[in-house]
């Protein structure tokens, strides 16, 4: 399990950047059964001339380009904030696109890859997490 946020030394920030890059790369490599990269429509925000309703419906648009830039900078202070931005992007795709559409399905499959990679990295890197995330992890490990 990771350390509680607040201790973000230079070495920890570098580990976080490396972990974020690993998550990003895993999602970029996610393909469908034909070999099509699922992330292609997620790379940049939709053009507001082509999709004006998107910007009326979505209050905080975010794309892979934002996640890449933020992940390679010192934007994220803990891994939960990074995870939250990924969830936001994928939830936006499911909100804007109809359930069952290939964009919706791409978001579902990308989320599986992201969560698996994120969880593996969180354990392996010992990165800082917010106490709320730490408690949630402990509670989910307690058998009922």
Least confident of 1-5, 27-31, 105-109: 1-5
- Which residue range is the domain that position 75 belongs to? 10-141
Residue 132 placed within a domain? yes
Q: Per the structure, how many domains does the chain have?
A: 1
Residue 3 placed within a domain? no
How much is the pLDDT for 118? 93
Considering only CA atoms, which of 27, 31, 23 is closest in space to residue 102? 31
Residue 2 placed within a domain? no
Residue 35 placed within a domain? yes
pLDDT digits (tens, 9 = 90+) for 60-119: 999 999 999 999 998 998 899 999 999 999 999 999 999 999 999 999 999 999 999 999
> What CATH number does the domain containing 65 carry?
1.20.920.10
């Amino acid at each position: 399990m990771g350390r509680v946020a607040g201790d973000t030394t230079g070495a920890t920030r570098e580990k976080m950047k490396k972990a974020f890059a690993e998550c990003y790369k895993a999602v970029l490599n996610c393909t469908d059964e034909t070999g099509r990269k699922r992330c292609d429509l997620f790379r940049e925000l939709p053009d507001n001339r082509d999709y004006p309703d998107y910007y009326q419906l979505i209050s905080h648009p975010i794309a892979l380009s934002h996640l890449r830039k933020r992940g390679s900078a010192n934007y994220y202070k803990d891994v939960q904030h990074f995870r939250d931005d990924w969830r936001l992007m994928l939830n936006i795709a499911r909100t804007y696109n109809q359930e069952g559409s290939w964009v919706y399905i791409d978001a579902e499959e990308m989320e599986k890859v992201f969560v698996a990679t994120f969880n593996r990295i969180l354990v392996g890197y010992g990165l800082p997490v917010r106490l709320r995330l730490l408690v949630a992890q402990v509670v989910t490990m307690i058998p009922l």
